[in-house]
Amino acid sequence: MIVSTSILGSLRAAARSLASHQAAVDTAGHNLANVNTPGYSRERPDLVPSPDRGGVDVRTIQRVRDRFLDFSLLSEQQTLGKNKAEDGLLDRLQGVFNDPPGEGLSAQLDQLFQSFHDLGLNPTDQGVRATVKDRGTRLPQTIQLMRGRIDQLKGDLTVEIQQRVSEANSLTTQIADLNRQITGAQPTAPPNDLLDHRDALVAQLAQIVGVTAADRADGSVQLAMNGTGILLVDGNTSAAIATTFNGATDAMDITAGGSTVS
C-alpha cells in the first residue's frame, strides 16, 4: 500500500483521524448521557484504517449487544410475565377465601357442626334448635357471597385480559413501525436508538405473549407466537390478537391473525 507522504496528504490523513476520534468522543458522551436510560445499549465506534488515503475512518457505530442472549432472555420474559399474572391472581383469590376470625367459612362450619352436636345432646331445647336454624341459614349466605366475589373476580380478569391484548396489539404495531424506520435508515448511520427502543418493546411483548424472535437481513425483526408459529410481526406488518369469552368452556378463546390459538 502506497500512502502519500506530502504535507497535504499528511494533513488530510490527520484530519480524517481527528474526525474519527471526535466521533469516538461523541459516542462516549452519548453513552454517559444515557447511562440511566432503560433499555439503552452501550455503543462503540468501529475504527478501521483507511485503505488508500491513510489515517483512520469510522466504519460504523456498533451496539455492544449479544443477540443470542437477547433471544434467550425472551423465554425468561414469558416465564416472568406468567408467574406475575399467577401470583396476582392467587393473591386476589386468597382475599376471597381468607377467613376473618369467627366469621369465615371455616368458623361457620365449625359453629354449625357444634350446634348439631348440641342438638344431639338436647333435641327438645328450642334455643338449640333456633341456633341450628340460624347457623344453617348463614352458611349458604356466606357461600353465595364468596361465589359472587369469585364471579366478580372472573369479570375483572376478563376485562384485564382484554386490556392486555390491546396492549400487545399496540406493541406489535409499534414494533412493525420501528421495523419500517430501521430498514429505511442509511447503512452508514445505524439507527441504534431505534434498535434499542424496538428491543425494549419486544421484551414488554414477551411478558404478555410468549414470542420467538429472528433477525432478518434487512435489519427488521420477525416475531412468532410461541408454540403456534403464527407471525405477530413480519417486517412492517403486524397481526392483531383477539379474545372472546367462551361460556361453554368457561375460558378465553384467543385468535391471532385470524388463526385460532386456543
User: pLDDT of 215-234, one tens digit each?
Assistant: 998 889 999 998 888 899 99
Domains of the chain: total: 2
What confidence score (pLDDT) does residue 172 get? 96
Domain check: are 39 and 23 in the same one?
yes
Whether 122 and 114 have beta carbons less than 8 Å apart is answered as: no
Query: Percent of the chain, pLDDT > 70?
Result: 93
**Any idea what DSSP says for residue 220?**
-
- Segments in the chain forming alpha helices (H): 7-33, 67-97, 105-121, 126-183, 192-208
Mean per-residue pLDDT, 27-54: 81
Q: How big is the chain, counted in residues? A: 262
Residues 11, 107 share a domain: no
Q: Is residue 2 included in any domain, yes or no?
A: no
Same domain, 24 and 149: no
- Last residue of a domain, which of 48, 63, 78? 63
Confidence of residue 195 (pLDDT cuts 50, 70, 90): very high
Q: Is residue 29 part of a domain?
A: yes
The CB density around residue 28, as the number of other CB atoms within 10 Å, is: 14
Per-chain mean pLDDT for the chain: 84
For residue 1, being part of any structural domain is answered with: no
257: left (phi over 0), alpha (psi -120 to 50) or beta: left
What was the pLDDT predicted at 222?
94
Task: Classify residue 249: in a domain, yes or no.
Answer: yes
Confidence band for 167, pLDDT divided at 50, 70 and 90: very high
Using the predicted structure, report yes or no on whether residue 203 has a pLDDT greater than 60: yes
Considering only residues 249 and 204, tell me which one the structure prediction assigns the higher pLDDT: 204
pLDDT range class, residue 168, cuts 50, 70, 90: very high
Q: Which 3 state secondary structure label does DSSP give 4?
A: coil
pTM confidence score: 0.75
pLDDT band, very low/low/confident/very high, at 2 (cuts 50, 70, 90): very low
User: Quick one: 49 and 89 in the same domain?
Assistant: no
Evaluate whether 262 touches 210 at the Cβ level (below 8 Å): no
Range of the domain at 16: 7-63
Q: What pLDDT, on the 0 to 100 scale, is given for residue 3?
A: 45
Nearest to 202 by CA among 228, 182, 222: 222
Asked if 120 and 188 sit in the same domain, the reply is yes
Residue 138 has pLDDT above 70, yes or no: yes
Do 52 and 97 belong together in one domain? no
39 found inside a domain = yes
pLDDT attached to residue 1: 42
- Are residues 124 and 39 part of one domain? no
Terminal alpha carbon distance of the chain: 65
Q: Are residues 78 and 56 in the same domain?
A: no
Place 108 in a pLDDT band, splitting at 50, 70 and 90: confident
Nearest Cα to 48, choosing from 30, 65, 67, 23? 23
- Give domain status of residue 102, yes or no: yes
Of 12 and 63, more confident: 63
Among candidates 160, 180, 163, which has minimal Cα distance to 238?
Answer: 180
Task: Classify residue 71: in a domain, yes or no.
Answer: yes
DSSP 223-256: EEETTT--EEEETTEE--EEEEEETTTTEEEEEE
Residue of 176, 218, 178, 217 whose CA lies nearest to 197: 178
Q: CA-to-CA distance for 3 and 114, rounded, in angstroms?
A: 103
pLDDT of residue 197: 93
- State whether residue 210 is helix, strand or coil: coil
Where residue 54 falls among pLDDT bands split at 50, 70, 90? Answer: low
Using the predicted structure, report yes or no on whether residue 53 has a pLDDT greater than 70: no
